[in-house]
Amino acid sequence: MKIKTALLAATSIVVMSTANAAEEDLVKYRMKLMEIIGGHMGSIAAIVKSEVPYKTDLAYHAKGLAEAAPLIKPSFETKAMTDKSEALPKIWDNWEDFAKMADKLETASADLSAAITSGDRAAMGAALNATGKSCKGCHDEYMEDH
């Protein structure tokens, strides 16, 4: 009986350790994805504000943002939290709202990329504004204060 109890305890520890490692890996992945999105958005803002002279890179960053945005929703489908996570648990409590916000960013960033490619300044301004509002709205609602 003691062997059976010890084996059960050891198995539980291994399963819990594996689950914790999987959660940590998922949170790390999501954080890296959000760093990529933030990097593209920050680069776009710096270029638009003429803080840096890389206007020819604008389309690259807009395309990168538009390609990364659709990865948000799938990366949050599984609830995973660690001490390092900046995501709030209410993401999963309000999944439909969070998913709508992720969809809005996906649409806004695709519109931004298209507007930049077209060269239409009015469309660029509107799309950049929509993209920024989308990012901010989700961060205000679902991200820990940082």
Phi, psi of 89 (to 5 degrees): -60, -20
Q: How confident is the model at residue 44 (pLDDT cuts 50, 70, 90)?
A: very high
pTM of the model: 0.83
CA distance 52 to 141: 31
pLDDT tens by residue, 46-99: 999 999 999 999 999 999 999 999 999 999 999 999 988 899 999 999 999 999
Q: pLDDT-derived band of residue 15, with 50, 70 and 90 as boundaries?
A: very low
At 108-143, the pLDDT tens digits run 999 999 999 999 999 999 999 999 999 999 999 999
Is the pLDDT at 13 greater than 70, yes or no? no
Whether the pLDDT of residue 3 is over 90: the answer is no
